[in-house]
Every structure is written in C-alpha cells, then in structure tokens.
Structure 1
C-alpha cells in the first residue's frame, strides 16, 4: 500500500499564484540567456538588433514596494510657565534718600579801580615850576624885561651887572587852583612881570598876558609873591638893585601812560 504524504498548507491562493509566476518568469529568462549564449557562440553573425528584439519581449517591470506611511508626529507640548511667587511680584523697597552735593559759588574777583592822579600843572625841575626851558633864563620859559636897562628905577642900567635869579619857591600843585574852572585854564598860560627887590623878595606882580581863567591868573600872582625868592640883580658895582623878572605859568593835561 503506497504511502500518501499529506501536507497541511494555509489557504493563500493569491500568494501562490504570484510565486509561481515569478518562478516561471525567472526560468524563462534563464532559458533566453542560455539561448543567447549559444547563438553568440555558434552564430556570431546574428545582429545585435535581432537579439535585442527577441529579448525586449521579455522585459518585466518590477514595481518597488511602497514605503510604509509615516506615523503622525505628536502634538507639541505647551511650554511650562515659570511659577512666580508672591514675593517676587511685590514692589521693590524704596531706595536710599539722595543728598545733593553742595555747590559752592566761586568767590567773585574784586577789581579795585585806581583813581587817576590829578593832572600836574607843570613838569620838570622844581625850581622852574615845570615850565622853564633848559639853561639859564629869566623865568618859566618866558622873556624877562631885563634888569633896568633903559627903564626907570634903580636898575643897573646898560653898563653891565647881573640879573635876578630865582632860587626858591614853586607853583606845581593842581590843588592850588579851583577845580570848577579847570576846563578854562587847561592848555593856556599866563605871563607875569614880577618886581624883585634888592632883598630878593617879590614886591609887586603885573599880568602881562592873561589866560582864559582870570581867577587862576590872580592866584598865580599871589602865590608867586608869597613863595618865590630870588638872588637880586646887581649893578656894575656889584650892589643889589631892584629888577623886573618875567614868569610864565602854564596849565596842561599830562600825557596818557
């Protein structure tokens, strides 16, 4: 009695058909390849085009398997918010009280303006009241009337002798004259004729040429009579005699420094 093998196979008709078809196709391809090798070996003159037409009928399109679907990505988790404590939400403490820095003002610079000095009536040597030119003359840069030559009196005459010479006394201060009339006399001069006695003192004063300030002219005559001292003129015998001495007093503004 023959032995019958029974095989229990799962019923998968579709899978078995596909497997058989694939095996059959593979066997056919192998046969065609063997035939092509034999033709190449024994019939080399067969054109490649004929071989290509024979083999082109057995092209099998193999469809690649579809990729498995990608599972959907999970939804993003919400970001966790940091917990804020009640202490962190409170207002900051008050800051320290700021004390402003004291500002000291610079000490003001006090400029003391020096009052201008009063104008000097004359300048030069004290003996000449600041108005006499250099050299031996007959007064403050003026011409005297001589020592009696041709005049009336006890002069030395024209026979020689010595003229009177001023040896003391000055009029150099602006305080000797009134300030109210200063503008009248500035830039002007007064010419005097002083009578000098044999004792060297002024015995008389006459205004020969007046200035614009009559009061200043009178003051000049008075001061010359009170302050001036002379070495009297002498005649040809050397005896002191009375003579006339010319004097010019000027008022001017000192130059700016």
Structure 2
C-alpha cells in the first residue's frame, strides 16, 4: 500500500486548489486587509463543514459500536485530535461576536472552549438562542462510513495547518478594513493549536488503516474519493453562504 497521505495530497490537489481560489477564501491570497463580509462568510462556511464532519464522525462511531468493532478505540483516538467541541464553540463565539455590534470585542488568545464567553463578552444565552442549524447543508453521498470519516478528519486537520498562518495574519490586522469592529479570532487560534497534532494524526491513521479493513488499498482509494467530495462540499457551502 502506498502512503495514504501521499495519495491524499496528490489525489485531492485540484479540488483543494479550487477551494483555496474560490470565494470567500481567495481573500487570503492577497495582502489587502480582510473585509467584514468576507470573514463572516468564511466562518459561516467553516461552521457548516465542521458540523457535518462532526455528524459523520458520530455516525461512524455509532456504526462501530453496533458492529462491536475491535478498532473503535483507534477511530475515537483520531477523532479526539480534532477538538470538535472547542472548534464548534469557537466558531459560534466568533459568529455571534460579529452579529453583536454593541459589544466591545478584543483579539482573542487561544483558550479552552469553556472560556469563550468570558473572552468575548458573549453570554451563554446568546449562543443558546442563536440558530446555527440552518448553516449545515446535507452531506454528499460518500463511498463508505469509514472512508468518509477518515477523509473528513484529513480535510479538518489539513485546514488547521493553514490556520497557523491565517491566525498570525488576523492578529496583525486586528480590525476589518471596512468597519471599526475588531477581528474575533478564536476559531483560527483554536485551529492553529490543533495543527500541532498533524504528525500524530498521520502516524496514528497509517497504523489504524490495517485495523479498519482487510483491503487497505481499497480503503485508501475510497478515502481519496471522499476527501474530494468533502472539498466539493466546502465549495458548495461557499456558494450557499455568499
């Protein structure tokens, strides 16, 4: 079996490139300050993606539990690296911050999910009453449960690598070019922290592949296909959010 991540990198190159150069993410490819509208669309798009990957991961674990799979702990270990609760909470906090112009927001520093309300001055009730469900579009039809889960984790972890650069850029910019509102950066700060586990994620995934299936090559092929579907899903979310 060829290295899964070599296949993923080469096999998803075109879709990944298409995503990076599509709106609203294309704003990261120029040096101009990021406008408020683009940033809101980025956060909305990423919320839809992260929630759907979270759903697929949950379904995958449920299926493994039903089948009494011996490799369930391997999958749980991979999913744990995503910090799902922290990422989703960070996105909700940032999006709520942008909707509440009456609050005085400051550039955030990385922190645990439990402190997002104190960091941004957002009340728990504000997040509880916000309707985020409409931001999650139905998922595509994947090759299989395991491949779609691994592929989703791959795109999630890959996004964290770019978050390092984006987080530093946002902290340097501090405010939007078209409003005095300060940039809330909790999402990208949280994702930047996840990037530290990229090597661990790759190592654990390669080891776990043989536990997940008797046909590793077939699973790798399906994972590449499903990763492309995740990129297409993100591109579709861009269109819906703009």
Greater fraction strand? 1
TM-score, normalised on structure 1?
Answer: 0.22
Q: Which has the higher contact order (CA 8 A, sep 6+)?
A: 2
